[in-house]
Structure 1
Amino acid sequence: MTAARTVLSFIVGAVLVYGLVVAAAWLGQRKLIYPAPSGRQAVPDGYERVLLQTSDGLTIDAAWRQGLPGRPVAVFFHGNGDRWSGAAQAMAPLARAGFGVLLSEYRGYSGNPGTPSEDGLYRDGDAAIAWLRDRGIADQRIVPIGNSLGSGVATRMAVTHGLDRLVLVSPFTSLPDAASARFRFLPVRQLIADRYDNRAMMEDYGGTALILHGVRDSLISIDHAGALANLSDRFTLVTFDQAGHELAYLPESGRAIRRWLHNEAGQP
């Protein structure tokens, strides 16, 4: 009887501990998804600070670099723990080639007001597209580029705004897909509130897409990129044998994007 009670107590205790872990994960999920850097950030060299107005009344920072007339304009959505410094590094090959570049930013990041969420980041992305349109930049020139978590924002912008071209670097098929692979002991698909379902969104996308992924990516498996690329023959997958999840910051990534955009625009 004593042994049985001991085993029962152990089982009950384990269940309680697991329940507490699940509850903590549910309550703290957005702090894990959005480890937002704090403090106002310096504008990268060659850029100017501009302000975006969101549909729910927030004023969000962005950094803008004017490109050459007629060149594509990249609007870059960074990953969950990044900021302008990394974004500027990722976009350096495009900036040097004379492309316009808008480094978008998210609510709750780097001194911006608000709290990050999927709906909130979509609103921030909408504000970035609106800002470009207000400057008279035609939709045919606007190219959303998303890295990691930013792939969800970029995809949403391309689909909802009817943009012709989309670039994804180290993307996932959906946030639950990516998170469940890393936290196998948790019921992630039932817990997670923010979905960023790139697979579902790209099934409805009628434009062309370039998808870049590192073979050595241990954070988001290259299988995600393959699954997205297989959705349409208009989607091009380029893989990098020696790269991991840092791919967006490697010059090879920027050069691949630059070549693809030149080819898509029919430029030399």
Structure 2
Amino acid sequence: MVRRFRLLAIALLALYVCALAVLFVNQRSLLYPASDRRTSVAEAGLTGFQDLVFQTPDGERLVAWWKPPQPGKALILYFHGNGGSLWNQRFRARALSASGRGLLMISYRGYSGSTGSPTEAGLHTDARTAYEWVKQSHEASRLVAYGESLGTGVAVRLASEQPLAGLILDAPYTSTADVASLTYWYVPVSWLMLDQFRSLDIIQQVRAPILVLHGTDDRTIPFAFGERLYAAAPEPKRFIRIEGGSHSRNLEQGGMAAVEDFLAAVEAHLPERSSGNAVTPQQTP
């Protein structure tokens, strides 16, 4: 009897180890369900935007949508979520730039026609590349990073490294390991997860004003995670509780007014005339 139980235990342990191996090998395909659909601004129906392609220092080509800001207006660097794409952000692109604000919305490596495969280090490189491109002609005092879901980790890292006028976090997390642990509770996620986007560890390094939006009914990233990150963030900061808000609709379900106020505060410190004209983008092949 003891021998049979021992064999059963060994078999169950072997199955568990195999399950861990499968999850480990496939973890990036689970974290980054990238769509390869490439969408032009014409197809998206975006007026005043340009298709842009630029190259990262490690040789990847990133697709992006670009609209330069009008004089005295802020410029938003937008980083979408893990299941996002340029196409499904077309309405936000229009809304965020409607009042003359600039917008650079990048497609991470492996997404929406950009080359390469996504990794945490790669996404941070993509964000830095976008920042350096826009800094060629626009001062940091008008640049606001907007991170949505997974993109909040990208935005927090950028804001911890570079000067910005503001940081907007839409449904943020403490780390992707904390989020993954909710689903894979039986896995030692903190040991095995390669890309953990540990925003909680670096949020104190941000020197820009912070706005956090989080829905109380978020089933993907719990509301409590946004509260924890906000509590650790330095001042000045503001937290907007979206009652009944779901994971990907905070802006549309009541957050837009707070975003408008936040951007207006940035613009209140800008001169009437901007110092930069739009950088001539590379032609999309």
Judge same fold: TM > 0.5, yes or no.
yes
Matched, 1:191 2:189: no
Partner of 1:145: 146
Stretches of structure 1 lacking an aligned partner (at least 5 in a row): none
Partner of 1:62: 64
Partner of 1:219: 220
Matched, 1:200 2:198: no
Secondary structure of the structure 2 residue equivalent to 1:212 = strand
Q: Deviations over 1:29-77 (max 9, x none)?
A: 1101111102322323222101222111222111012332120001100
With normalisation by structure 1, the TM-score equals 0.93
Partner of 1:119: 121
Secondary structure of the structure 2 residue equivalent to 1:114 = coil
Partner of 1:11: 9
Q: Deviations over 1:164-204 (max 9, x none)?
A: 31000001111111111221111111110112111112111
Write the letter of the residue equivalent to 1:64: W
CA RMSD of aligned residues (A): 1.6
Q: 1:238 aligns with which of 230, 240, 243?
A: 240
Write the letter of the residue equivalent to 1:77: F
Partner of 2:278: none
Moved over 4 A (4+): none
Number of residue pairs aligned between Structure 1 and Structure 2? 264
Which structure is richer in relative contact order (CA contacts within 8 A, separation 6 or more)?
2
Partner of 2:275: none
Partner of 1:172: 173
Secondary structure of the structure 2 residue equivalent to 1:69 = coil
Write the letter of the residue equivalent to 1:6: R
Q: Percent identity?
A: 29
Write the letter of the residue equivalent to 2:145: P
Range with bigger deviation, 98-107 or 8-17: 8-17
Write the letter of the residue equivalent to 2:11: G
Distance 1:251 1:127 in 2: 31
Distance 2:259 2:126 in 1: 23
Stretches of structure 2 lacking an aligned partner (at least 5 in a row): 270-285
Write the letter of the residue equivalent to 1:203: Q
| Equivalent residues of 2:165, 2:266 under 8 A apart | no
With normalisation by structure 2, the TM-score equals 0.88
| Equivalent residues of 1:213, 1:247 under 8 A apart | no
